[in-house]
Amino acid sequence: MYEPPHFRETDQARCHDLIRTRPLALLISADEGELMANPIPFLLDPQAGEHGVLRCHLARANPQWKVFTEPREALVVFQDHEHYIHPGWYETKRDSGKVVPTWNYAMVQVRGRAQVHDDPHWLGQQIRDLTQMMEGRYPEPWAVDDAPPPFIDAQIRGIVGIEITIHDMRGKWKVSQNRSEADRAGVISGLTQKGDAEALAMADLVKTALESKA
């Protein structure tokens, strides 16, 4: 990933937070020159290894898991908020006109050694942990064990687990850090006036970057 220094995020805790907040990521693999990518929800164990471990499961009918029957490299891309940046929001447009449109975003890219897990106990724990993570935000959370055991056993037979030991994690927060304070303030104002949820979320990210410079 192209990482200009002012956009590079080296805070591992912040990268982990993005992964937990946006667990649906793109799992990318290569096998004999053939690229494959699938959107998959991931669990992060931050205490395992130097950078953490990612765990997920795929449908057994999904051929991507077969790439990892022998441990090999995987790339996982987690995407946070993104938004188009209108050049008219910049103070520089009024001063000199020397502006162009761009796109702001935050993401984390993870590389690691992936291996397959086909053990029913591992898979059962995986689906319970993932369900608990997602259902914990609901007032009446659903649990795996709410369903009949034979039904869950059949579901487990239809999936395969993947565990990725992270050896490289790159965070990139492209949120107008390369612009002047006046330009960043204009971006915040423009996004806030636009008012949709994604615009407001990006305004908060730009505001955080602006405050960190103060």
Q: The domain spanning residue 19 has which CATH number?
A: 2.30.110.10
Give residue 97's pLDDT. 84
Q: Domain range for residue 32?
A: 5-178
**What pTM value is reported for the model?**
0.92
Q: Are 105 and 81 in contact (CB under 8 A)?
A: yes
Q: Does 212 map to a domain?
A: no
Q: Does 187 map to a domain?
A: no
Rounded distance, CA 89 to CA 184, Å?
9
Q: Does 21 map to a domain?
A: yes
21-53 pLDDT, tens digit each: 999 999 999 988 899 999 999 999 998 888 899
101 phi and psi angles, rounded to 5 deg = -65, 160
Q: Does 205 map to a domain?
A: no
Domain count within the chain: 1
Q: Does 214 map to a domain?
A: no
Give residue 213's pLDDT. 57
Q: Which residue has the tokens 């990521």?
A: 25
Per-residue pLDDT at 99 exceeds 90: no
147-205 pLDDT, tens digit each: 999 999 999 999 999 999 999 999 999 999 999 999 999 999 999 999 999 999 999 99
pLDDT above 70: percentage of residues in the chain: 98
Q: Does 99 map to a domain?
A: yes
Q: Does 189 map to a domain?
A: no
